[in-house]
Structure formats: structure tokens, C-alpha cells
Amino acid sequence: MPWWFRGERKMGRITVLDQNMVNMIAAGEVIERPASVVKELVENSIDAGATKITVAVEEGGRKLISVTDNGIGMDAEDLACAFEPHTTSKIKTSDDLKGISTLGFRGEALASIASVAQIKAISRPKDQLAGNCLEIDCGTKSPITPCSADTGTIIQVRELFYKLPARRKFLKSANTEITHIIEQFIRIALANTTIELVLKHNNKDVYRIGANQGLLARISELFGADIADSLIETKSDEKDLNIIAYMGKPSIAATSNRLQYIFINSRFIRDKFISHAIKEAYRGAIDPSRFPAVFLFIKMPYEDYDVNVHPTKIEVRFFNANLVHSQILACLREKLLATDLDTMVKAPLDYETRMPSNTSQGMPRGQIAEAMEDFFRRHRPGNQQHMDFAARDPGLVTRNFVNEQPVSSIERRFMQIHDSFIIAENDDGFVIIDQHALHERIMYEQLKKRVRNSHLESQKLLVPESLQLSKDQLDTLENNSELFEKLGIEIVGFGPKTIAIQSFPVLLAKAEPAEFLKDVLGLIAEKGATLDSENLFDEVLHMAACKAAIKAGNKLTDGEIQQLLADKETVEGSGHCPHGRPTTIKFTLSELEKQFKRT
Ligand SMILES: Nc1ncnc2c1ncn2[C@@H]1O[C@H](COP(=O)(O)OP(=O)(O)O)[C@@H](O)[C@H]1O
Ligand SMILES: [Mg+2]
């Protein structure tokens, strides 16, 4: 007997559920929490052509959610119909499903909401002098009554889930619920810049957003100027795919995808192909465990994807997902490569607090500031009136200055400080370079370039290096023989648990072969299960670049510094190390002058 069968078998076990039960079950899918009600109601207002929408909630929406719009409204007949299940004005035949241009079409949101809360709906179409009012209490309708009303629609939803204690119990605190509502509101506000939008919580304004702002202005209003100022705009319009993207610089990448917003024809979606394209575009520019901030607005023919795959329509199915992936990747990647991602230091400059902390590895921030001040003093000897530090001798190494006339941008004056940082003059100021981070980036790009088509060039070790490996390590080695071949590491068996490295890549000459091999094996053991072979190899290259790069503390010759500066000009993404930390911080003369109170 199946577990669900109770009692004796008899005919007539199956019954048709009454309509309110059906609605309540549908509500389970569509209405998870107050934020889902906000989403459905506001989407209806947008579909109704509203140009102003006000959302007012109380106690995180648990007590009241009210949405007021100035859209086309409903007459008495439509109002009576709208809360019935499977009623919609948006599609009529199955053909309409092939190109849905409205946010709604399933005709179940209002019926679902009305089955689990107290509703009051007032609506008036433009061509009528009065409105109509309808009240519903968990599926039980009162008669429609005429009332005075502005044109448009107000829908109030009170005491969500009040007759379903099990569902109500799952609602979180008002604070948590309002956070979810704000998130829905933000998505709607980003997708509909022509609409004026207001969000109130417990009678206080949370957002009041004017219509027809540009996208960037909306982003700034919703996320703050710091985020908006760090965005790079890019566009493309090819193959029926119009893309506008605002890409965050690596410095604002987050630990989750909370700053990734993807819209298809003004509908917020989540999509694994697009997320992957974004990740690929930023590969090498940020740490692989972080998520870049990206606001991506895509317009494409409605017929080229299906929205009828998920009850809340947060997922779509692209008919040509590869095309969508490659267009987005190309658009974002091209822009990133063409952008100077050097970290800019803004005035007013407070050295101790504003300096990005990642750049101060191995050296207190105050020392960087001191070195910088010293550099500036030496180059502007006539202008010391504000420099109270001029008498101090920071004991800097100055022999690295090359004082010839600058010929090209790289033959400028430069110096190494504390054997860790390079200060180099440029056209409008100077830069401080983290020598390890920059060299790591250069190594990574060179390694990547060389392995793209073949394997790394290797050279025979004079004395093969033998080492003992555990059974697991040997297995890993055997299972990844192709990876080691590509790296240019040649290995031969030497005994049951001993192997010998015979050849090692020339580019990794700075690394210690046995130690490097063990580290690669460790990395594969740690990440091999979760990464595909391409990403795993990329991680290995990151590690190789780090090991082969000049370290902080290495004294460099003038020639080496010149080489670094020359490579910086030619290597892709040289503003950041492969983990996304800045390699370079810029200081412009005008900002310094402000800081030294010369202007
Ligand atoms: N704010 C509104 N203004 C005008 N008409 C509305 C509004 N909200 C809902 N409606 C009407 O009620 C119908 C049912 O809404 P809903 O249950 O959300 O289904 P759907 O949006 O999928 O059509 C809509 O198709 C629309 O005709
Ligand atoms: Mg709807």
C-alpha cells in the first residue's frame, strides 16, 4: 500500500478541489511574502500604463500593502472579473504566448492574493465619472459598490496569510520584510525609468523617485553616488540584441551577486548563462570568488525567448542562449579591456583613511604617504611653503632616479621605495605601483597568452628534482597529466611513491619546482571538484603568476623597473592584479595641489 493510502480502498477517493483551494495552492507558488504582493501589484500597474505608482506598506507589509496607480483603471465588470482565477486581459489565444510583451499574463496573481488576505480594490477608468469598490476577505467577495475615486486603481492588501497561521509564521520581522520589498522596488525602479515611483513604510518616505531620470541617475539615487561614480557605461546593438551595461570597477565587486541586475525588456531576471558571461568578462580583473557590480539592460524581440517557464517569471528560456552569452561577454569584455582601471585617489586626500588598504601590504600607509610627499618635494623644490615635513629625512633610496629628458611615457622619472613600491611620474601627476601586484598581473597575462595555443616552453633541469608523493597526490597527478603537460612540467616515475621533475617552465624560473608541483596538486585537490577544467587551469595560472612574480622586498635595478613600466603599458588589465586588487594608484597634480592647499 502506498504511504498516502489510509483506510480501505473504495471508489471516489479523488475529488475536485474547490476554487478557493486552487487559488490558495497557486498563492503558495506566486505569493511567498509581502514583497511578492508588491511585485505583482506594481507589475499590474505598469501593464496598465501607469506613469505614477505609489507603494505604501505598514509593518513590513504584514499589516498593509497598498498600491495606487494612475493607469487605465477597470470598470465594474472588469473589477469583478480581475480577482477570479485565470482571468487576464493580456493574452487571448495560445499564439499570444509566443511573444509576451506585458509583465503579467498568467491571470492568477490577483486571485491568489485575494484568497489569502483582506482586499479592498477601488478603480476608475478615464472615461467614467465615478469609480467602483470591491472588498474580498480570503476569497469571499462582497458586492461591488460605486464610489468616488481618481482615475486609476488602488489595491489594498491587509493581514496577508491571516487565516493561514502556518504561512504567516514564516514571515520574518518587519525589518526583514521591508528589505525584501525595497529589493523588489529597486528592480522595478531600474527597469522603468519613465515612471514616477514612491515607496512609503509606516507613513515615512523610503524612496521618492522622479520620472524620466537617466539610468545612471536612477542607479545613483537607489545605490548612492559611490557606486554610480564607479560604473563604466558600454553599449552594443547587434544581431537583434540591444545591450546597455553599467559595469562596476573591480574595487566595488561584492561577495555575493547582490549588485548584479539583469533586465530583459524591462523584466528583472536571473539567468545562469548571463551570470556566466559576466563572470567571464571580469576574469582576471577581480578575484574569482567575488561578484562584479553590473547593471545590464537588454532589449530583444519578445519572440526570441519564453517567459512562461517560472511562476514568478524570474527565469526565461532563450531560444539562442549561446548568442546571448557571446554578445554580452564580448560587449563587457571589450569595454573592460579598453578601460584604464587604475585606482584614482581623490581629493581631499586623507592618507591614513582614504588610501585603499589592499595596496599597503607590507608597508604602513603612513609610510606611503611620507614617501609620496618626499617625492613631490624633490620634484617641486621651489614650492615648500606648506610642507612641514620638508625637514624630515625619510631616508629614501634616491639612486634610482633617472633624470634624462622624458622621451616616451615610460622613460620617465621613477624610483623604488622600501624595495616594494615604485613611484613613477606620468603626464598629469604620478603613480605608485605595487611591484608584486603589477608583476603578478604581467606574468599571468604572459602565461595565459603562451598556453592559449600550446604549452609553456620548458627547460630541462640540470639535476632532476625528485620528491615523494602520497597515494592521493599520485592519483591527482595521473588524472591531470594533460594539465601538467600544458604547464610544461615533465615528470617521470622514480619509485613506487617517488617521482622526478625533469623539465620545468622557463617563465616560472623564480619558483621552486618541487614546491610548485605540490602546491598545484593541493590546488587541484581543493578546487578540482567544483571547477571545470578551464577554470581550474586558470586558477593554476593565477598561482603560477603569484609564485613567479617579483616579491615585495626585492630590490630592483633601473632596468628591471623600466621593463616593468614598459610591460605595464602593453599588458591587458594592468591596473589590477589577477585577484582584482589594484596594482597602481594615481595621484594627479591638481589633486595634490588641492591637498597642499595651493589652490
Ligand atoms: N492596476 C491595474 N489597473 C488596471 N487593470 C488591472 C490592474 N491590476 C489588474 N488589472 C486587470 O486584472 C487582470 C488580472 O490581473 P492578474 O491577476 O495580475 O493577472 P495578469 O497580470 O497575469 O493578467 C489583468 O489582466 C488586468 O486586466
Ligand atoms: Mg499581474
The confidence score (pLDDT) of residue 9 equals: 53
The DSSP code for 302 is G
| C-alpha span between 34 and 157 (Å, rounded) | 9
Taking the centre of ligand 2 as the mean of its atom positions, its distance from the CA of residue 41, in whole angstroms, is 7
Nearest to 438 by CA among 369, 359, 539, 372: 359
pTM > 0.85: no
CA-CA distance, 361 to 343, in Å (whole number)? 16
Grid coordinates belonging to 303: 519572440
Express each pLDDT in 246-295 by its tens digit.
Answer: 999 988 888 889 899 999 999 999 999 999 999 999 988 888 788 999 99
The Å distance, Cα 85 to ligand 2 centre, comes to: 12
36 lines ligand 1 (CB under 6 A): no
pLDDT of residue 8: 53
Percent of the chain with pLDDT over 70: 86
Q: What is the pLDDT of residues 539-565, one digit of tens each?
A: 899 999 998 899 999 999 988 999 899
* Amino acid type, 494: F
Q: Kindly state the average pLDDT of the residues 31-36.
A: 93
CA 207 to ligand 1 center in whole angstroms: 25
Higher pLDDT: 33 or 534? It is: 33
SS3 of 497-523: the string is CEEEEEEEEHHHCCCCHHHHHHHHHHH
Looking at residue 342, its pLDDT comes to 67
**Distance spanning both ends of the chain, measured CA to CA:** 88
Is the minimum distance from the CB of 102 to ligand 1 under 6 angstroms? Answer: no
Cα angle at 428 between 422 and 434, to 5 degrees? 20
Give the span between the Cα atoms of 312 and 318, in whole angstroms.
17
pLDDT at 432: 94
- Of 230, 561, 221, residue with least CA distance to 402: 561
Higher pLDDT, 383 or 439: 439
Statement: residue 521 has pLDDT above 90: yes
pLDDT score of 4: 54
Position with higher pLDDT, 358 vs 87: 87
Nearest-angstrom CA–CA distance, 42 and 50: 9
Which residues have CB under 8 Å from 482's CB, separation 6+? none
Pairwise CA distance, residues 43 & 184, whole Å: 11
Whole-number Å distance, alpha carbon 122 to ligand 1 midpoint, is 13
User: Across 36-50, 329-343, 454-468, which has the greatest mean pLDDT?
Assistant: 36-50
Say if residue 4 is exposed, middle or buried (CB neighbours under 10 Å; 0-12, 13-18, 19+).
exposed
Residue 394 main-chain phi, psi, to 5 deg = -75, 0
Closest Cα to residue 69, out of 49, 56, 52?
Answer: 52
How many whole angstroms from 168 Cα to the centroid of ligand 1?
25
The C-alpha atoms of residue 126 and residue 123 are separated, in whole angstroms, by: 10
Mean per-residue pLDDT, 202-213: 93
Task: Single out the residue of 227, 220, 216, 300 nearest to residue 258, CA to CA.
Answer: 227
Report CA(46)–ligand 2 centroid distance (Å): 10
pLDDT tens digit string along 446-501? 898 888 878 888 888 888 888 999 999 999 998 999 899 999 999 988 778 889 99
- Ligand 1, atom nearest to 69 Cα: 1
**β-pairing, 260-264 with 294-299?**
parallel
518 burial via Cβ count (<10 Å: 0-12, 13-18, 19+): middle
131 lines ligand 1 (CB under 6 A): no
- One-letter identity of residue 319: F
Identify the pLDDT of residue 389.
28
Measured from the alpha carbon of residue 106, the closest ligand is 1
Is the model's pLDDT at 99 over the cut of 50? yes
- In this predicted structure, the answer to whether residue 411 has a pLDDT above a threshold of 90 is no
pLDDT in tens, 100-153: 899 988 888 999 999 999 999 999 999 999 999 999 999 999 999 999 999 999
The answer, yes or no, to whether residue 7 has pLDDT greater than 70, is no
Angle at 344 between CA 391 and CA 278, to 5 degrees: 155
Atom of ligand 1 nearest to the CA of 73: 4
Ligand 1 near 69 CB (within 6 A): yes
User: 173 CA to middle of ligand 2, Å?
Assistant: 26
Q: Decide: 90 in ligand 1 pocket, CB within 6 A.
A: yes
How far is C-alpha 163 from the geometric centre of its chain's CA atoms?
39
Say whether pLDDT at 244 is over 90.
yes
DSSP track, 208-254: EE-TT--HHHHHHHHH-HHHHHTEEEEEEEETTEEEEEEEE-GGG-B
Integer Cα distance of 484 and 487 in angstroms: 5
Q: Is the CB of 72 under 6 A from ligand 1?
A: yes
Mean of the per-residue pLDDT values of the chain? 84
Q: Of 460, 470, 479, which Cα lies nearest the Cα of 498?
A: 470
Hey, what's the cell of 238?
547587434
- The pLDDT value recorded for residue 320 is 94
Residue 18: DSSP 8-state: P
Task: Quickly count helices (H) and strands (E) in the chain.
Answer: 19, 24
Predicted local confidence at residue 2, as pLDDT: 57
If you search the block for the grid coordinates 536571473, which residue do you land on?
A: 270
Ligand 1 and 483: CB distance under 6 A: no
Q: With a 6 A CB cut-off, is 55 part of the ligand 1 pocket?
A: no
Q: Please tell me whether the peptide bond between 348 and the residue prior to it is cis, using omega within 30 degrees of 0.
A: yes
Residue 82: CB within 6 Å of ligand 1?
Answer: yes
The C-alpha atoms of residue 197 and residue 356 are separated, in whole angstroms, by: 36
Ligand 1 touching residue 122 (CB < 6 A): no
Give the separation between CA 589 and CA 599, rounded to whole angstroms: 11
pLDDT at 519 over 70: yes
**Is 220 near ligand 1, meaning CB less than 6 Å away?**
no
User: Which ligand gives the minimal distance to the CA of 23?
Assistant: 1
Q: Please tell me which residue, 400 or 438, carries the higher pLDDT value.
A: 438
Confidence of residue 11 (pLDDT cuts 50, 70, 90): low
CA of 385 to the centre of ligand 2 (A): 69
Mutation to probe ligand 1, out of 37, 42, 44, 84 (largest number of atoms < 8 A from CB): 44
Q: Find out whether the beta carbon of 192 lies less than 6 Å from any atom of ligand 1.
A: no
Cβ atoms < 10 Å from Cβ of 24: 22
Q: Which atom of ligand 1 is nearest to the CA of 110?
A: 17
Buried b / exposed e along 76-87 (16+ C-beta atoms within 10 A): beebbebbebee
Of 88, 157, 195, best ligand 1 pocket probe by most atoms within 8 Å of the beta carbon = 88
* Cβ of 153 below 6 Å from ligand 1: yes
For residues 553 and 312, the answer to whether their CB atoms sit within 8 Å is no
Atom of ligand 1 nearest to the CA of 105: 22
What is the CB neighbour count within 10 angstroms for residue 325?
Answer: 18
What pLDDT, on the 0 to 100 scale, is given for residue 309?
A: 87
Strands 204-209 and 196-201, by their bridges, are antiparallel
- In whole angstroms, give the CA distance from residue 508 to residue 216: 44
Burial class (CB in 10 A: 0-12, 13-18, 19+), 453: exposed
Nearest bound ligand to the CA of residue 152: 1
Distance CA 340, CA 329 (A): 19
Q: Which ligand is nearest to the CA of 124?
A: 1
Helix (H, G, I), strand (E, B) or coil at 285: coil
154 lines ligand 1 (CB under 6 A): no
Least Cα distance to 567 among 583, 579, 582, 555 occurs for: 583
Q: How far is the CA of 70 from the centre of ligand 1 (A)?
A: 14
Q: What is the pLDDT of residues 191-201, one digit of tens each?
A: 999 999 999 99
Cell of 356: 585603499
At residue 395, does pLDDT exceed 50? no
